[in-house]
Amino acid sequence: AMSHVASMIAHGVFEKWPDLYFVIIECGVAWVPSVLWRLDADYKALRKETPWLKMLPSEYCRRNIRFSTQPLEQPANIQHLWSTLEAMDGENTLMFASDYPHWDYDDANTLQIPPAWKGKIMGLNALEVYKRIPRAQAANAA
């Protein structure tokens, strides 16, 4: 997933198609902030390698890449997870995924996310990505 994120950004995919969303599923998310920090640092140092990019890599990620919650890391101290999610703008970049019916699926009722983010992560972010699903239809299905 890390190489896909770096490749999609560095090759200018999101500069050419700014409305495209790329969804990463079943890869965890704890790695996201450090990869974005490294990409931003390298972008500044190696600007000549990617002259087509007009924003920092982390800005493309926030605008164009979404991540599933399955599997969401579960550290002993939940604040460590929440700090990681905040560093990747998890409120706006995470989308719920249960992985049901697998034995290790994530139950929506036990997902450890900041309570204020629940509406976005549990559905509104997906509705932004999958615009062809009418909001009324999605509300009726829930």
| Residue pLDDT, tens place only, 31-52 | 999 999 999 999 988 888 899 9
Give domain 2-9+22-141's CATH superfamily.
Metal-dependent hydrolases (3.20.20.140)
Mean pLDDT value across residues 6-25: 96
Instruction: Please give the average per-residue pLDDT across 70-79, as a whole number.
Output: 90
Cα 92 from chain centroid? 8
Looking at residue 133, what is its pLDDT?
A: 64
Residue 137, pLDDT score: 60
pLDDT in tens, 88-140: 999 999 999 988 888 777 888 888 899 999 999 999 999 999 987 666 565 56
Closest CA to 65 of 117, 29, 105: 29
Domain range list for the chain: 2-9+22-141
Q: Note the pTM of the prediction, 2 decimals.
A: 0.88
Please report the pLDDT score of residue 119 as a whole number. 94
Q: How confident is the model at residue 60, as a pLDDT? A: 98
The number of beta carbons lying within 10 Å of the beta carbon of residue 38 is: 13
Helices (H), the chain: 2-10, 13-16, 32-45, 57-64, 78-87, 90-93, 118-119, 125-129, 135-141
